[in-house]
A and B are shown apart, each in its own frame.
Chain A
Amino acid sequence: MATLRPVTIDDALAALAAGPGKLLAGGTDVYAAAGPRLAGPVVDLSRVAGLSTIEAGADGWRIGAGVTWSALRAAPLPSAFDALKAAAAEVGSVQIQNRATLAGNLCNASPAADGVPALLALNAAVEVAAAGRRRRLPLADFILGPRRTALQPGEMVTAILVPPQPEGAAAVFHKLGARHYLVISIAMVAVMLAAEGGRITDARIAVGACSPVAMRLAGLEAKLVGAPLELAAACAEADDLVPLSPIDDVRATASYRREAALVLVRRALAEAAGRLAP
């Protein structure tokens, strides 16, 4: 069966409504998992007009489903996006960043997806459409587990939505792998802090590759709000990472992940707090 190449969202949704089709955008996950040829049916979204823009408005930012990591890195965005931009620079390689989309990273639903911690820290939501209907879900409700999302048959992601962010927030991303470049994370952390008068007013911490889906550390966030910046790193304790459920795999042991995640959280907090220090 041939590849369908819609040029409007309505056509794309009509194609999906007509029957199951593998969604193809940047292709970096889809082709990586394919044999010599990509078996159809395929709906190629890369020509759909309007998917590749980042738009800013009163209710935040709308990152189209076709926006690549390279496009995100190049976009003028406020400091709250620094962690996401840092993550963008660590997705695979330049070759991958030039093709891979943020939306695809979410749809692939890898526990080690580079983009998820920073988007969780931005309180991002996912806009999903099917023929004749649209819905939006918080990111945490979109990714259900390893390789599992809330996408129903006939649905596709049309955008990632980021609500307004605190002015001057500091956002930091740390990725830990066994080599430089082209590496799947052992653990990663995204932190966003905002402060006023030397005290933390908003704290968001998300850890990736240490649970089936990257997750926020709500307990630690609650502890941090109100704390002085210079104590940010010290606030993080091993108990705060109890919600994580790391596993042993070829990259590291579970116990190592737990230990390393705490180090990464502390370092990211220290770095973010340092940026906010008066």
Chain B
Amino acid sequence: MSLTADTRAETPRATLLAGDDDTLILNGASVALDARDGERLSDALRRLGALDVKVGCNAGDCGACTVLLDGDPVCACLVGATQADGRTVTTLTGLLGDPAVQRLADAFHRLNAAQCGICTPGMMVSAAALLARTKTPTEAEVKDALGGVLCRCTGYRAIIDAVMGALRPSPAEDSVGAAVPRIDGRAKVTGAERFGDDVAPAGALALRVVRSPFARAAVTLGELAAFAATTPGVTTVLTAADIPGANRFGVIPAFADQPVFAAGETRHRGEAVAAIVGEADAIAALDLSAVPIAFTALPAAMTPEEAADAPPLHEGRPGNLMCEGRVVRGDAAAALARAAVTATGRFRSPFVEHAYIEPEAGYAALVDGTLEVHASTQAPIMDRDSLAEILDLAPDKVRIVPTACGGGFGSKLDLSIQPFLALAALVTGRPVRAAYSRAESMQSTTKRHPSDITLTVGATADGTLCGFDFAGTFDTGAYASWGPTVANRVPVHASGPYSIADYRATSRAVHTNNPPAGAFRGFGVPQSAIAQEVLFDDLALALGMDRLAFRRRNALTNGAPTVCGQVFAQGVGIGACLDALAPHWARATAEAEAAQAGTVKRGVGIAAGWYGCGNTSMPNPSTIRAGVRADGTIVLHQGAVDIGQGSNTVIAQIFATTLGVPLAAVEIVGPDTAVTPDAGKTSASRQTFVSGNAARLTALTLRAAILRLANAGEDAVIDTADGLAVVDQGRRQVVDLSGRLGDYALEAAETYDPPTAPLDENGQGAPYAVYGYAAHMVELTVDTELGTVRLLKVTAAHDVGRAINPVLVEGQIAGGIAQGAGMALMEEYIPGRTENLHDYLIPTIGDIPPIQSLIVEEADAHGPFGAKGLGEHALIPTAPAILGAIRHATGARLTEVPATPARVLAAISPAAKATP
């Protein structure tokens, strides 16, 4: 008896070689496959034009390449192209005609279920397969169907809601405060968005990088010219010797120390030593081990402890100490001596990988004497200036055209693939493309700094903080990257959003032979927040105080100095955040107390965070440009890179509302160093605040110019319904823009730079014009026999000053929480061991619980419409709140993340386990 249909039974054919006559039905049309030897179906589909098939890992770990093969979802990266011969393949594009998928696309768009958009096609194809089976799936069915697709931006909850058919009506207004669906969102839900690997011209050469297999290695280059000459399809091999300018770059000029290609010796595993350039097929098929380059392992320093006694990685940095940071106020030692209770601990965290689903990718080409680089980035002007130095070109001979960015989170602030592409295009004179493999993305790009923190805090008997003494060592890896920023930010922020009179915080960033640690959502603050918040729980417990009440009592207020001595007269919103959580806290703690029977224990945790928006005590300007064409079209040149967080929409909303026109009347020209001014880097939670302010100022100037031209008063209304007109006191007047020269009849460009003041040798000053504030409450259960943690709910209060766009605010909060949960529970990057997305775990759709956002709007005088930054804040309190909840549930006091099942179980005392 046969129990299954043999789906593969077919007319017998003779044993075949992979043939030229293979065809498949792709989105309804018969297409010749023309498969290459060993080609993956994902690559074949993209070669055939199906660029909505995204490649994130080539290992079935991320699901971005999900397509339907004869109707069933599969990872196209794990299917041989020739295995699709005679079969039907459907990508998102082929599903869009289905009304159910159109509804799904609409729901994804309106609910902000697509942020960066790189995982969206895989998500939607998986969801479409589910919806074809059942129109009304349960949450469990949605999770089972989408569990194979990773998303790093959204925190998944919006995706679940969208698939379950939730609808969010479009708001009637599109001005500031309205939950407008992102204005560039439609392309993300149709697969039309173009990311770094989607834009290279046909026929571009391709490039792959040869990397060190050892943390520290001596490199011997063989006969590379002969290799290139004798290997079919290989055009050239590039090394350090080919770099016309400086073989050195870095995001902070004073610390620039990273070579494009290591020369002589490598400093970390995965460091580049050469790039092989050639015809795309030959490069894809190339066995890199055949390249005549020899590596000899050398002794390496893998921890800050080992590095202290190791030879310096860089001249002028003895002991491998890159830099230090320090903030001192009052007398911490004396305060701790008189405190009624003190708590102390040593806290450690590992490398954390950004794990955006889009690996670094792009292409470069010489166009009319200008070198163009089209790639995924967070910092186009910095890319341009660094490439100019590397290539010995004038900055205006380098043009950066950012593609859509499939997730950045800080790592795409640094150069990665761009120098290789740019150099190859310069040397060959042809367009050159490349995309990192997941392994090389993980090996070679920046990570969150591992931390080793010792902290002692004290409190008086009434629960007032009394002394705070913090010392942190951060493994900054082989190169400086943003290590100085981490070293500076941590002492400024380590207090959390609390009043502490007697404070001492020092930090050290130490080089090792690990991958460079750089910027990752929070710049070291998530690490320090763990130490601070765990010890605050210690103090509350020691004093018998409620954990929320202890924090509320010590929360920073208007008029009280920060640990840097900065006094904000207004805008300090942490008290309001904690107050917003209070009723939820009462409910959650009562429910946890009532649910303590059995081996699965329930707990609640709370933690707060703050984050200064923009650069620390340094100039940090954004410029926004706008114009009106002769036909009345309003154009906004918006150079802030939208990496999924929504700055395209937020900045346009600020601009349109200030100008007094509908959002839909504004045409956007995005980041492009040739046509759009510098809106700074997308980092430090600065785009809404800094570029938003620049957009507001630009709109004010442009509005004044329009009204002046119409001789209209300040209260006049700009009418864009038909050309450009002004309505003043009931009189409609078309604005005459004829006869004006240039691209724009009217033009404005304004710059905003937040007011800050330098920090003195004790870190006293005004590092930021504004901070944002947050407090998270986590409810979870712990299986006390296995140490496994299940998140039940996160309630997140965020003071954003003013929610320019509430749906985007909620998206940032949910995404930050998901990354915080990953950091707390599962993420640990180990060079050489977790260089893929199955050994390096990030949360899946099954790991993120319902999230309730409580938006607090304590307007800030500096913010546009009162708005503050949010991007980093959303991640900072999550991990400590999780640790607090685990402790509440089990008594296990964890001081090291990730809190894996093994660590949690080891921390649960035998007595706690035995409790019935």
Which A residues are closer than 8 A to B by beta carbons?
1-8, 11, 14-15, 24, 26-28, 31-32, 34-40, 42, 44, 46-57, 61, 66-67, 70-71, 74-77, 89, 92-96, 98-99, 176, 178-184, 186, 250-253, 256, 259-260, 263-264
Contact = CB atoms under 8 A, between A and B. Distances in A.
Nearest to A253: B902
Interface stretch (B67-75, B351-359, B558-566, B718-726): B67-75
Interface of A (DSSP majority class):
loop
Given A54-B2, A98-B73, A179-B841, A47 B8 contact: yes
A37 B285 contact: yes
A256 B787 contact: yes
A50 B844 contact: no
Contacts of B126: 94-95
Given A24-B83, A39-B287, A178-B841, 9 more contacts: A5-B17, A28-B60, A35-B288, A37-B285, A55-B3, A89-B144, A181-B147, A256-B905, A256-B906
Contacts of A263: 785-786
B245 interface: no
Given A3-B37, A93-B148, A32 B59 contact: yes
Chain B interface size range: 35 or more
Contacts of B85: 5
Contact of A53 (B2, B78, B83, B847): B2
B236 interface: no
A46 B60 contact: no
Nearest to B73: A95
A27 B79 CA distance: 6
B79 A99 contact: yes
A38 to B, nearest CB: 4
A123 to B, nearest CB: 19
B733 interface: no
Given A1-B37, A4-B15, A44-B83, A50 B1 contact: no
Contact of B3 (A76, A92, A183): A76
Interface of B: 1-10, 12-18, 36-40, 43, 58-61, 63, 66, 69, 72-75, 77-80, 82-83, 85, 126, 129, 143-145, 147-150, 208, 284-285, 287-288, 437, 785-788, 825-826, 828, 830, 833-834, 838-839, 841, 843-847, 898, 900-902, 905-906
Name which of B10, B13, B16, B208 has the most chain A CB atoms within 10 A of its CB: B16
Contacts of A50: 6, 9
Given A31-B79, A99-B74, A38 B7 contact: no
5 contacts: A31-B80, A71-B4, A98-B72, A176-B788, A264-B786
A15 B15 CA distance: 9
Contacts of A94: 73, 126, 129, 144-145, 147-148
Contact of B847 (A47, A95, A180): A180
A259 to B, nearest CB: 7
B9 A49 contact: yes
Nearest to B11: A7
Contacts of B18: 2-3, 5
A15 B69 CA distance: 27
Given A37-B39, A182-B61, A31 B902 contact: no
B901 A186 contact: yes
Contacts of A54: 2-4
Given A37-B37, A182-B148, A44 B80 contact: yes
A95 B901 contact: no
B8 A51 contact: yes
B577 to A, nearest CB: 29
B664 to A, nearest CB: 38
B8 A40 contact: no
Contacts of A11: 14-15
- Among all A-B residue pairs, the 10 with the closest Cβ atoms: A93-B148, A180-B846, A181-B147, A38-B38, A256-B902, A37-B38, A32-B59, A252-B902, A54-B3, A11-B15
A11 to B, nearest CB: 4
Given A6-B15, A53-B3, A250 B830 contact: yes
B15 A49 contact: no
Contacts of B900: 178, 251-252
B3 A27 contact: no
Contacts of A186: 901-902
A49 B78 contact: no
Q: Of B60, B148, B845, which is in contact with the most chain A CB atoms at under 10 Å from its CB?
A: B60
A15 B17 CA distance: 11
B829 to A, nearest CB: 10
A207 B631 CA distance: 74
A36 B47 CA distance: 14
Given A96-B60, A182-B844, A250 B834 contact: yes
B431 to A, nearest CB: 19
B124 to A, nearest CB: 14
A55 B2 CA distance: 4
A263 B784 CA distance: 11
B828 A93 contact: no
Contacts of B14: 7, 11
Contact of A49 (B12, B43, B58): B12
A265 to B, nearest CB: 12
Contacts of A49: 6, 8-10, 12
A178 B10 CA distance: 42
Contacts of A253: 902, 906
A31 B58 contact: yes
A36 B6 contact: no
B60 A92 contact: yes
Given A27-B79, A98-B72, A36 B786 contact: no
A92 B148 contact: yes
B4 A53 contact: yes
Contact of A5 (B15, B36, B72): B15
A256 B908 CA distance: 12
B172 to A, nearest CB: 39
A5 B906 contact: no
Contacts of B12: 7-8, 49
B8 A66 contact: yes
Nearest to A178: B826
A224 B551 CA distance: 54
B37 A2 contact: yes
Residue with the greatest number of chain A CB neighbours at <10 A, chosen from B38, B85, B287, B786: B38
B839 A250 contact: yes
A161 B825 CA distance: 40
A268 to B, nearest CB: 13
Contacts of B63: 93, 95
B38 A7 contact: no
B843 A179 contact: yes
B128 to A, nearest CB: 13
B845 A181 contact: yes
A3 B82 contact: yes
A34 B38 contact: yes
Q: Among the interface residues B4, B77, B85, B288, which one has the most CB atoms of the partner chain A within 10 A?
A: B4
A252 B284 CA distance: 36
A34 B59 CA distance: 8
A10 B58 CA distance: 32
A257 to B, nearest CB: 8
B148 A46 contact: no
Contacts of B61: 32, 182
Contacts of B288: 35
Given A37-B36, A37-B285, A259-B905, A2 B17 contact: yes
Contact of B901 (A3, A8, A35, A256): A256
A53 B12 CA distance: 17
Nearest to B22: A5
Contacts of A35: 287-288, 437
A32 B285 CA distance: 16
- Most chain A beta carbons < 10 A, residue from B85, B143, B900: B900
Contacts of B77: 31
A94 B9 CA distance: 23
Contacts of A1: 37
Q: Which of B36, B839, B844, B902: most chain A CB closer than 10 A? A: B902
